[in-house]
Amino acid sequence: MSINTVMVIFGGVSTEHLISGRSAYNIIKGLQSAGLRVLPVGITREGEWLLYQGDYELIKEGTWAEQIQLGGKNKEEHRKKMAMPMSVKGWIEAIAGEMPDCIFPAVHGINCEDGALQGLLQLSGIPYVGCHVLASAAGMDKCHSKIVFAKAGIPQCRYVAVRRAELNSDLDAVVKKIETELGYPCFLKPNQGGSSVGTSRASNRSELVDALNYVAGFDRVVLVEEFVDAREIEVAVMGNEKPETAVIGEVATAEDIDYYDYETKYFSDAGASIHLPANLSESQQELIREYAVTAWQALGCNGLSRVDFFLTDNGKIYINEINTMPGFTPISIFPQAFAASGWSIDKLTCRLCELAVEDFAAGQRKELI
């Protein structure tokens, strides 16, 4: 199957709506440079799907929805067309104006990379880039992925999972458990989420209580992890049955930055820097790549993912988490790492679409009559 037209989905009802636009901008430019036609479809913060025919710069800036153009059709006509009963495949064709050969979901966060959108795309019967429903859901749910990683024999730091209901019923018991099992400092993050949204650090009981209440606002389950004084190592992985790893990268935060949070990652010019390649010994590289592929295979990933690790001064390696739809922003490690491995953005985005088509063909099943 040849690929001529790619539908790129961006935006979404997600805390990472803005970051999605930045990823989509670079993906669109890469696909166009590869000679492919692009059908950009944005999902507004309210959940409305719209074909975008305006300036791509507005996608990057996050103001595309305000300037939306629907090819001369007003929004009411567009909504009526979308309300017509049809298959998921026909619904997507109606949105895009034509049937795409492949779909590239340039989206992040809840409702976007947690299996929800992937389920819809699976029902469309159209090849789409990235992990399927199970791997997407398991990768987004950090507690679940930790169970999978433990079963696969990948080392990870100690953690405590706290439900929001536990905070409301017995906060003191939760605090004592964290102090006993993890101690201070400790890090808190929403169990489901990405881009460091909602993360927090606690160095004492007062900060822990505040952090628990804060992070619980983002998710019903709060993941609390022990402090590990370590370097942050990230591995970009691409492929299907035989995944390949790119040049290994490292995120180095400035000395005045406590940790790599959302603001540091996307809105600070000097908060952190990316080192490609990371300064690692051959044995460290080999083991980290092995762990990355093991994590990929244990979750059942395909297409692309980024696997993050901690590396301590005494050489211990711990898996941190996996991101099944890594960012494509200018500061994102996934495209940078593969660029350092010889994959320009046009070759990379095109290859990801090819992998989607190959995986789609391999996944076809015999039907009984």
Q: Using 50, 70 and 90 to split pLDDT, how confident is the model at 177?
A: very high
CA-derived radius of gyration, the chain:
21
Mean pLDDT of all residues in 69-88: 61
Say if residue 159's pLDDT is above 70: yes
Q: pLDDT digits over 100-128, tens only?
A: 999 999 999 888 899 999 999 999 999 99
Mean residue pLDDT across the chain: 90
Q: Write down the pTM of the prediction.
A: 0.89
Residue 340's contacts (CB-CB under 8 Å, 6 or more residues apart) are: 246, 247, 276, 277
DSSP designation for 46:
T
Stretch(es) of the chain classified as CATH 3.30.470.20: 139-155+229-324
Mean pLDDT of all residues in 263-279: 71
Instruction: Please give the structure tokens belonging to residue 336.
Output: 């940078």
Answer for the pair 248, 308: CB distance below 8 angstroms, yes or no.
no
Mean pLDDT of all residues in 76-104: 81
Q: pLDDT digits over 243-257, tens only?
A: 999 999 999 976 655
Stretch(es) of the chain classified as CATH 3.30.1490.20: 159-226
- The strand ranges marked E within the chain are 5-11, 37-43, 49-51, 102-105, 159-163, 186-190, 200-202, 221-226, 230-239, 244-245, 249-253, 272-275, 303-312, 317-323
Q: pLDDT digits over 128-138, tens only?
A: 999 999 999 99
Amino acid at 319: I
Residue 72's contacts (CB-CB under 8 Å, 6 or more residues apart) are: none
DSSP designation for 141:
B
Q: What are phi and psi of 249, to 5 degrees?
A: -110, 165
Stretch(es) of the chain classified as CATH 3.40.50.20: 5-130
- Residue reference for tokens 């929805």: 65
Spelled out in words, what is the top-level CATH class assigned to the domain 139-155+229-324? alpha beta
Least confident of 78-82, 162-166, 238-242: 78-82
For the domain spanning 5-130, the CATH number is 3.40.50.20
Question: 103 versus 367: which is more confidently predicted?
Answer: 103
Instruction: Please give the structure tokens belonging to residue 1.
Output: 């199957």
Mean pLDDT of all residues in 159-175: 95
Answer for the pair 53, 41: CB distance below 8 angstroms, yes or no.
no
Say if residue 76's pLDDT is above 80: no
Fold assignment, 159-226: Dna Ligase; domain 1 (3.30.1490)
Q: What are phi and psi of 187, to 5 degrees?
A: -115, 140
